[in-house]
A and B are shown apart, each in its own frame.
Chain A
Amino acid sequence: MKKIWLMISCMVLVCAMAQSKVNVITKSIVVYPEKEAGKIARIVFNADSKCGLLFIIRDSKGNIVKTLSSILNEAGQSFIDWDGKDFSGRIVEEGDYSVSVVTGISWALDEKFGIKGRIGIETMQIKVTDPEKIVFKVPGEIKRITVGETEYYKSDNLSIAGPNYVIKDGNIQINPTGGAKKDDIVNVEYYNPFYLENPWAIDVDQAGNLYVLYKWKTASMKYPATTLVKVSPDGKKIVDDFGSDGKIGPFSGHANQVTVNEKEGRIYICATSSHGTGVFSLKTGAFLYEIGGWFGSGSSDPRTTVYPAGIAIDKTGTKIYIRGFSAYDRTKEKDKGFLYRENPIKHSGYAPLIDNYWGPSMESARQPDCFYASSYYSDISKIKDTGSGFSELYNVHINGSPVGMSLDADTEVLFAALRTVSGEIAVLHDTGFLLNELWRLKDNELGPTHAVKMIGEYLYVVEDGASPIGRTLEEMKKANVNPAGKNRISKYRLIFDQEKDVCKITVKK
């Protein structure tokens, strides 16, 4: 083989943010939650710059009982109050509680995962030295080969060999009659380590297996189809002992969000077909039944879940909330579990501005009757199920169009994928009465992100891969939203800049 320039895109492994310095002045305090006097513990602190702070209160066993957050717009002294109640609003037991403060967050790619921390599309470029012999190897399934404007190969073609190239013994030879000249650059996009086109949504089980929805389309297809693939925890292979060779689907509907419930042994996939939410076996991938869908008189029928863009399940009960919004008993199929529907709700009436109405856009809150929804207006809202309808509790505007979200239920920290040109993840804290955007995670190598999943100390970030078309594309351009990501999933390890035991609180009744 002649000399070939091989340029694999570099990846920034660690992106850190400048951290603020915080000095907590309150070192010890007693709180009497049940009494009129002394029912609030006020923690006073100084910060040397504007910052977002997350306070974590732990009991004597180290369990997190409550988190608090504060955003300082300028350096100086401030405080935060705790009323002695835990996440569920109950007064905690008497005893000593420690307070830690998180001043910032950074992340690093987990290089053990996939190919140096990522799976999906990679690119390589080859400089043409001899147009008669453009021969090279590609380590994964090819998506596209182009030289300048000329497309030599496209996976949509579904053919093994075309007029412009030949694959033999793993080598690809570009046909010299294709017009490539010396010093041209051959651009190769390929899937690594396995086919993963346009990843869309993700969930991860406790063992670390990834459940990824990806969308694909061939030249003969009018609309894309969606498939769910189960990926091994190391991101190196498809778990073929699941579904049909590791996959379930394809779904002809615009499947948008996947939620795994290990307690129930179920996978919920939003919009599998006929606007319904498919329920599948977590163990085998078998289809079990569908919730909602298209009924009676169609979209005007209250039971219909039309183009649902997201789902959230109530983790202690049997409800499922489907974007629109509708509440269903998720143990019952089709319309049998229909409870009520309310639409639209201020700020949350529409799915985010991404690929028409479709995107992973809901996430269960820690409270069983609440969920988060990202919205058309670049907001994230917290919605409460009132038992007969839905009510928006509060919302926050997020620059960058939030799409998929993932909640770390231990801390009530919410991660939201953003459609910014250089991929960013918003990190918010749900205080119980508002959503504080504390920090942003940034990686210059990321494009627009589409979904996230926080599990343990890891954050999976999904960059989709296909541009929308028509009105949606125009609207996105107007809103300065990048239409497509880089077609990858990355796994990051999160690093919280945390100062422990900055304060002790004694609870007495």
Chain B
Amino acid sequence: MKIASFIAVIAFFSGISYGFEIEVNLKNPSDIPITCNISLVRTFTDEHGNWWPDLGFISEGTLLKQKPRVENFIQPGKQSGWIKIPSSARILVCKRISENPVKWKLDVKITEGGNTISRSFEFSEKTMTEYIYLYTVPSSPGPIRPELLTAEEIVDRNLEIVKQTIKNRQKTPEKIAIYTDCFLSASNPSQYREKQYKFLRTLGINGLQYCDPELIPEIMEKGFLYFRYGGGTIEYQDYYKIQQEIEPAIKSASLNLSGVFERYNAINYVRNLKLGDEISSGLLQEYIAGGEKTRIEVIEYLKTKKIQLSEAEKIELKPASIIRNENPCLYYWINRVRMERINSLWDCAKKANKKYFPYAWSSPNWPVIAYLEGGYGGYGWDLWHLYDNQYLDGIWGEDWPGYEVWLRGGDAYLVDMMRCQAKGLPVGIYNVVEANHSSVYARYKFFQQLINGITEIFWYSYGCLRGNESKPWEIKTDIVREIALLNRDAGEAEEYLLNTELEPASIAILWTPAQEIWEPEYHIEIIALYYMLLHSNYNVDFISSYDVESNRLKKYRVLFMPFSYVENSAWEKIKNWVEEGGFLVIEGGFLRDECNREIDLGSWLKGFSTKRIERVKSVGRLPIELPKQKLLDSTEPVYFPVICSKYNLTVPEKGKCLLRYKDQSPAAVQVSKGKGAVRITGFYQGLSYIWDQENRDNSKWGDILLYHSFSPEMRIFTTEPAGICKIKKVCDIDKNLVVARKRTGKNRQCIAIFDYGFGSDKPVMPVWETIGETTVKLEIKQAKNVKCLNGEIHKDKDSYVVKFKGATMLLIDF
């Protein structure tokens, strides 16, 4: 699609009004009278009032916002004449009310902008209800035009698209689960259900979520292998309860669900159970409002963990803002208990489900809000409590549909983060590709997920398969096509993916509860920093204070502390790790402990001191608001913008100054310590990286999603420690923004390559037609066979030359 036409499409669909008129004419060609009614309906409404279409998946249960019916009694051989229908929805429900099995006919006429389309439908005597979609095909050449199609015709059309797309590519995944939702009901005509099953199976879907239980036997018979359901789950209101309070309801829910599957002897088809939806820690103030119950819980926690507060730090509950100032240590520990108490709730739900579904793993839907909003306030991050895998079987990620982020590698961040949290446990993820997104997006996401070892992937039907909520009548043929291909890629790759492991990272980014509790806004530096490491082609792990305290730091050679708060106990271990040879990067210029006390870096790094110049409290959301922050300063000799926070540093003894602010005061210093080294920056590198490209490009592409022109110089500076420590890049790819991820096994290897520059030095629309071809050389030794998905590969002496667009995956046999 050309850019111009793409924009035109957006413009066309941006209006919510329905500028058409619809009329119907009911006909009774039989020799007995009939009564029928016609109504226009919306089908599925989300919490924002947007409606989703259920294209081709319609069932009585999902019909919402039904408009007043037009009901008619029609004598034999007569017709109703043209009746105008209120035109604010897009699905016509045509019902024969009288029981007599007679054929009847309906003429439908749409007038839009002076143009009229019409079509006659004849309904069989076998069916009582038919659905007609007022359907638009936006990808057709020429002006957008509405069509009138029955639900079955829509399915047929989609099926034909898929069939044409997947010629000679029959293998679909069997061990990797590919789900979508199932809105079919037993009340749908069987032939219609058949068509849907065929479409989904042809698409490569092998699992369904929340199907009508009555359909379980036929779904299994049609070759679907997996189910995903909500078992015993935790709800938002459960958070403040104790385990004993939620246990009966959870057990009961799981028990009841098990009955559904036991009935059909299908318990072992249930692969994943949802434990809850985006539920994380509750709000501090509400937790404190728990009064004595909370106080006892905190006392018990401290006793169990053998943590002693000082005499002055009495466990006395007051409003959060007062405790924060009066008793910072208590403030920290109350928050820790608040954050961790959910573990026992998850554990309770996990165990209840395990009892009745021994073959399934349970997982909450990971609270993506944390990712979007950047931390504290009762949302997210807390699933770091998966540490030691005590409480959960795995996690299920809610994909971030933030289109403007993915071009930077946001999806990579999401799945990398989930991988690090789950530490070998299964991970699942929802995939949203909205109708106004490019199908290229689907491939980036999907390949990132596969290469990171995610084995449960869910294609949201809205967006991916059925338009999206604001433009539900679209048929997104390009997305359907892409999904069909991707599912087959997964089919071909699954033996390679499942029998290999991601190469271990030597670089880690630290997360701490202390930071989350004291200054959550600056968590977004984690993401920003991650982009630089990703774009530099380094594997990176996210670790937490829990990992540090469990002595898991030693396997890393470089540790980034992308913010300033760290627990004293973790900090002691980090210092030892440096003395033993680790390279530590501290961003921001200062450190404080869990009780908000300054950590005296000068006593450890002789001669070092720091002075706050400016620090803003509200950093803002990373993709959208951050670029609005004002520039505080910049650095030299390399131009790095300084935003949000600026600290002046002194150079430690025997240390060196790496960067200076414009006033020539040190902005980044580095010093050897024991066998290792410490680098401290007085500003945040990642935030600058994100802000910088926006400022410099100033491309006027505005909202059209172009954030892919980052500064290579900044990446080089920030990731320099990795080079000093001789950490190898994933693949030796010498191309800006082209990165690889590699999984290696006994006789196999799998390499995914992503071009975050889209084959162009200049901004391009991320659609297949406009992104450029990328060529990279890779050294692959002693390969018996190399296969390239979504690209071409040929051998050139000792290396292989890979040509691809966007993202590719290599499957290698040794």
**Could you give 20 example pairs across A and B, Cβ below 8 Å?**
A243-B255, A244-B251, A244-B252, A245-B251, A280-B259, A281-B258, A281-B259, A283-B262, A284-B255, A284-B259, A284-B262, A284-B356, A285-B255, A286-B256, A286-B259, A286-B260, A287-B256, A287-B259, A288-B259, A288-B263
Q: Which listed residue, A245, A279, A286, touches B258 by the CB 8 Å rule?
A: A286
Q: Give A287 to B256 CA distance when docked, in angstroms.
A: 6
For the complex, give the distance between the alpha carbons of A245 and B259 in Å.
16
- Additional pairs, 4, CB under 8 Å, beyond known A284-B355, A288-B260, A289-B263: A281-B262, A284-B255, A286-B255, A286-B257
Contact with B along A270-305 (1 / 0, CB 8 A): 000000000111011111110000000000000000
- In chain B, positions 257-278 with a C-beta closer than 8 Å to chain A are 257-260, 262-263
B252 engages A288 (CB within 8 Å): no
CB distance from B233 to the nearest CB of A (A): 16
In the complex, whether B248 has a CB less than 8 A from a CB of chain A is yes
Cα-based distance from A279 to B262 in the complex (angstroms): 11
Q: Which residue of B lies closest to A289 (CB)?
A: B263
* Chain A residues, Cβ within 8 Å of B263: 279, 288-289
> Is A288 in contact with B255, judged by CB distance below 8 angstroms?
no
CB proximity of B353 to chain A, nearest CB, Å: 12
| C-alpha spacing A285/B256, complex, angstroms | 9
* Closest chain B residue, CB of each to CB of A331: B263
Q: What chain B residues lie within 8 Å of A286 (beta carbons)?
A: 255-260, 262, 356
The answer for the CA separation of A235 and B605 in the assembled complex, in Å, is 72
Mark out the residues of chain B between 222 and 279 whose CB falls within 8 Å of any chain A CB in the assembled complex: 248, 251-252, 255-260, 262-263
Report how far A281 CA is from B355 CA in the complex, Å: 14
Could you tell me if B255 and A244 are in contact, using CB atoms closer than 8 angstroms?
yes
Give the size range of A's interface with the partner: 10 to 19
A260 to B750 Cα, complex, angstroms: 54
CB-CB under 8 A from A285, the residues of chain B are: 255
In the complex, chain A residues whose CB is within 8 Å of the CB of B248 = 244-245
CB distance from A88 to the nearest CB of B (A): 31
CA distance A333 to B260 in the complex (A): 12
Q: Which residues of B contact A (CB under 8 A)?
A: 248, 251-252, 255-260, 262-263, 355-356
A243 contacts which chain B residues (CB < 8 A)?
Answer: 255
Chain A CB count within 10 A is highest, among B257, B262, B355, B356, for B262
Measured in the bound complex, the distance between the Cα atoms of B251 and A283 in whole Å is 15
In the bound complex, CA of A280 to CA of B263 (Å): 9
Q: Which residues of A contact B251 (CB under 8 A)?
A: 244-245
Q: Would you list which residues of chain A between 205 and 258 have a CB under 8 Å from chain B?
A: 243-245
CB of B243, distance to nearest CB on chain A (Å) = 14
Q: Nearest-CB distance from A227 to chain B (Å)?
A: 13
What are the residues of chain B within 8 A of A289 when measuring CB–CB? Answer: 263
Docked complex Cα distance between A280 and B248 (Å): 18
Query: 7 closest Cβ contacts across the A-B interface?
Result: A286-B259, A288-B263, A287-B259, A286-B258, A288-B259, A286-B255, A244-B252
Q: How far is the CA of A97 from the CA of B223 in the complex (A)?
A: 56
Residues of B within 8 A of A284 (CB): 255, 258-259, 262, 355-356
Q: How far is the CA of A336 from the CA of B178 in the complex (A)?
A: 33
Q: Please, how many angstroms separate the alpha-carbon atoms of A243 and B262 in the complex?
A: 14
Chain B residue numbers with a CB within 8 Å of A287 are 256, 259
Residue of B nearest to A248 (CB): B255
CB distance from A67 to the nearest CB of B (A): 38
Taken together as a complex, chains A and B put the C-alpha atoms of A67 and B737 apart, in Å, by 89
* Complex: A281 Cα to B261 Cα, angstroms: 11
Give min CB distance, A14 to chain B, whole Å.
42
Which of A243, A244, A279, A286: most chain B CB closer than 10 A?
Answer: A286
Contacts of B260 in A (CB 8 A): 286, 288
Instruction: List, in ascending order, chain A residues with CB within 8 A of B255's CB.
Output: 243-244, 284-286
Q: Residue on B with the closest CB to A283?
A: B262
Residues facing B in A135-187 (CB within 8 A) are none
List chain A residues, Cβ under 8 A from B259. Answer: 280-281, 284, 286-288
CB distance from B262 to the nearest CB of A (A): 5
CB closest residue in chain A, given B258:
A286
CB distance from A188 to the nearest CB of B (A): 30
On chain A, the residues within 8 Å of B355 by CB distance are: 284
How far is it, in angstroms, between the C-alpha of A15 and the C-alpha of B258 when the chains are bound? Answer: 46
**How far apart are the CA atoms of A250 and B480 in the complex, in Å?**
47
Chain A residues with Cβ under 8 A from B257's Cβ?
Answer: 286
Q: Which residues of A contact B262 (CB under 8 A)?
A: 281, 283-284, 286, 288
- In the complex, residue of chain A having the shortest beta-carbon distance to the beta carbon of B251: A244
Docked CA distance A243–B257 (Å)? 12
B residues near A280, Cβ cutoff 8 Å: 259
Instruction: For the complex, give the distance between the alpha carbons of A286 and B252 in Å.
Output: 9
Expressed in whole angstroms, the Cα–Cα distance for A245 and B248 within the complex equals 8
With the chains together, A286 CA to B253 CA distance in Å? 10
The distance from the CB of B496 to the nearest CB of chain A, in whole angstroms, is 39
Mark out the residues of chain A between 298 and 342 whose CB falls within 8 Å of any chain B CB in the assembled complex: none
CA distance in complex: A280, B262 (Å): 9
Nearest chain B residue, comparing its CB with the CB of A243:
B255
Expressed in whole angstroms, the Cα–Cα distance for A279 and B356 within the complex equals: 17
A280 to B, closest residue via Cβ: B259
Contacting residues, chain B, for A245 (C-beta < 8 A): 248, 251
Bound-state Cα–Cα, A321 to B257, Å: 27
A-side contacts of B256, CB under 8 Å: 286-287
0/1 string, A374-416, CB within 8 A of B gives 1? 0000000000000000000000000000000000000000000
- Distance (whole angstroms) from the CB of B232 to the closest CB of chain A: 11
CA distance A245 to B249 in the complex (A): 11
Contacts of A283 in B (CB 8 A): 262
Q: Give Cα A289–Cα B213 distance, bound, in whole angstroms.
A: 11
Query: Looking across the interface, which residue of chain B has its beta carbon closest to that of A286?
Result: B259
Minimum Cβ distance to chain B for residue A280 (Å)? 7
* Nearest CB in chain B: distance from A261 CB, A: 14
A296 CB to nearest B CB, Å = 13
**CA–CA, A281 to B254, complex, Å?**
13
**Could you tell me the distance between the alpha carbons of A118 and B162 in the complex, rounded to whole angstroms?**
68
Residues of chain A with a CB closer than 8 A to B258's CB: 281, 284, 286
Please give the distance in Å from B258's CB to the nearest CB on chain A. Answer: 5
CA distance A288 to B258 in the complex (A): 8
Q: Say how far B281's CB is from chain A's closest CB, in angstroms.
A: 28
**What's the Cα separation between A271 and B322 when bound, in Å?**
59
Cα–Cα, bound, A217→B258 (Å) = 29
Interface centre among B252, B257, B355 (most CB of A within 10 A): B252
Closest residue of B by beta carbon distance from A245: B248
Which chain B residues border A244 with CB–CB below 8 Å? Answer: 248, 251-252, 255
A278 → B minimal CB distance (Å)? 10
What distance in Å separates the Cβ of B260 from its nearest Cβ neighbour in chain A? 8
Give the docked Cα–Cα distance between A244 and B262 (Å): 17
C-alpha spacing A244/B352, complex, angstroms = 11
Name the residue among A245, A279, A287 with the largest chain B CB count within 10 angstroms. Answer: A287
Smallest CB gap from B252: residue in A: A244
Measured CB to CB, the closest approach of chain A to B354, in angstroms, equals 12
Residue of A nearest to B263 (CB): A288
Shortest CB distance B214–A (Å): 8
Contacts of A288 in B (CB 8 A): 259-260, 262-263
Q: In the assembled complex, how far is the CB of residue B245 from the closest CB belonging to chain A, in whole angstroms? A: 14
Minimum Cβ distance to chain A for residue B128 (Å): 16
Give Cα A469–Cα B257 distance, bound, in whole angstroms: 38
**Minimum C-beta distance from A330 to chain B (A):** 12
Give the Cβ gap from B201 to chain A, nearest Cβ, in Å.
27
Complex: chain A residue closest to B214, CB-CB: A333
Given the complex of chains A and B, what is the CA–CA distance between A245 and B260 in angstroms? 20
Choose among B248, B255, B257, B355 the residue with the greatest number of A CB atoms under 10 Å from its CB: B255
CA distance A285 to B255 in the complex (A): 7
- Min CB–CB distance B665 → chain A (angstroms): 68
Cβ of A250 to closest chain B Cβ, rounded Å: 12
A289 to B264, CA, bound (A): 10
Complex CA distance for A373 and B545, rounded to whole angstroms: 70
Interface residues of A in 95-154 (CB under 8 A from B): none
- Assembly CA distance A23 to B255 (angstroms): 59
State in angstroms the CA–CA spacing of A243 and B255 once bound together: 7
- Bound complex: CA A244 to CA B263 (Å): 18
